[in-house]
Amino acid sequence: MSENNDLLNKIISNLEYQKQVFGDNYYSEKVEIPIREISTENSEKIEEPVEVEVPVPAFSIQEEEMPKKSTIDTDWKNSKELNVLYDKIHNCLECELGQTRNEFVFGSGNPNADLLIIGEAPGADEDKQGLPFVGRAGQLLTKIIEAINFTRDDVYIANIIKCRPPNNRRPKTDEVEKCEPYLQKQIELIDPKFILALGKTAIDTLLKKDHTMRDIRGEFIDYNGRKLMVTYHPAALLRNPNWKRPVWEDVKKLRAAYDEIVGKE
Ligand code: URA
């Protein structure tokens, strides 16, 4: 009996050691438990090493810890419609953000919009709901859109990157490089006449240059035949309400140009 207990204790301490060193990944091997005493027929005691196969422990890898697998369709560049593009790319794992996101935030609104609004990256609310600009900054953006007599369904809203960076940090260069082609494909399919870029990440990514917001906001820039304007990001307005006035001036100017080119609704 005490022999069995000894054996059991050795197995348990081996498993505990494994768990300490390797976490929940279990590496199976034959464990040689050094010596045990056995009785022979003539009651002579001899010593013999014993090999035991350690059972697979209950703390095997949990499913949620398994890395997600990418099922991106490499043919996505040939998509002819936004919903087809979404189907082909929404399981993307081309950068590390795919491992931590809840939802791939593709974009929302009118797929034929003449105004495309581009932000930076999804935040916590967007990551939960799978929709762009639905948190506090999003509510302010909705008010800005409505202030120039559009609804969110008149325009299309997307971001430079589709997955939430942890703790809302700025997107890294490699994340932008991997994700921007999806946005470019969206621009091609939506084919908007106007683009409103919100904040520095959006404009620096689109124009491939470092800009000072103060110098560049509110002016129309030619962007492959489309009219591109940048203004302050609504999250920046929440921190600095003094910027609400210039944003109002910018979007009024945008609406006037839109009416001239697209025509009043
Ligand atoms: N900020 C962004 O840039 N995009 C969102 O979707 C939400 C907040």
Tokens 């009651």 belong to 43
- pLDDT in the model for residue 5: 73
Range 85-90 contact pairs with CB under 8 angstroms and sequence separation of 24 or more: 85/182, 85/185, 85/186, 85/189, 89/162, 89/182
- pLDDT in the model for residue 8: 73
- pLDDT in the model for residue 73: 87
- Is the C-beta atom of 171 inside 6 A of ligand 1? no
Residue 71's contacts (CB-CB under 8 Å, 6 or more residues apart) are: 91
Q: Which two tokens stand for residue 188?
A: 């091609």
DSSP 49-68: EEEEEPPPPS----GGGSPP
Q: How far apart are CA 127 and CA 167, in angstroms?
A: 12
| pTM, full prediction | 0.76
Backbone angles phi, psi at 53, to 5 degrees: -85, 120
Give nearest CA residue, ligand 1 atom 7.
133
- pLDDT in the model for residue 52: 52
Closest CA to 200 of 187, 188, 211: 211
Contact, 23 vs 15, CB < 8 A? no
49 CA from centroid of ligand 1 (Å): 65
pLDDT in tens, 226-238: 999 999 999 999 9
Q: Which two tokens stand for residue 259?
A: 């009416």
- pLDDT in the model for residue 38: 42
pLDDT in tens, 23-42: 454 444 444 444 444 444 44
Low-confidence ranges of the chain (pLDDT < 50): 17-18, 21-23, 25-46, 56-61
- pLDDT in the model for residue 72: 86
123 CA from centroid of ligand 1 (Å): 6
**Most ligand 1 atoms within 8 A of CB, residue of 105, 120, 167 to mutate:** 120
- Is the C-beta atom of 123 inside 6 A of ligand 1? yes
Positive or negative, the CA dihedral 121, 123, 126, 132 is: negative
Q: How far apart are CA 229 and CA 146, in angstroms?
A: 18
Position in ligand 1 atom list of the atom nearest CA 160: 3
- Is the C-beta atom of 107 inside 6 A of ligand 1? no
Residue 193's contacts (CB-CB under 8 Å, 6 or more residues apart) are: 114, 115, 226, 227, 258, 261, 262
The residues with which 230 forms a beta bridge, in sequence order, are 197
230 CA from centroid of ligand 1 (Å): 15
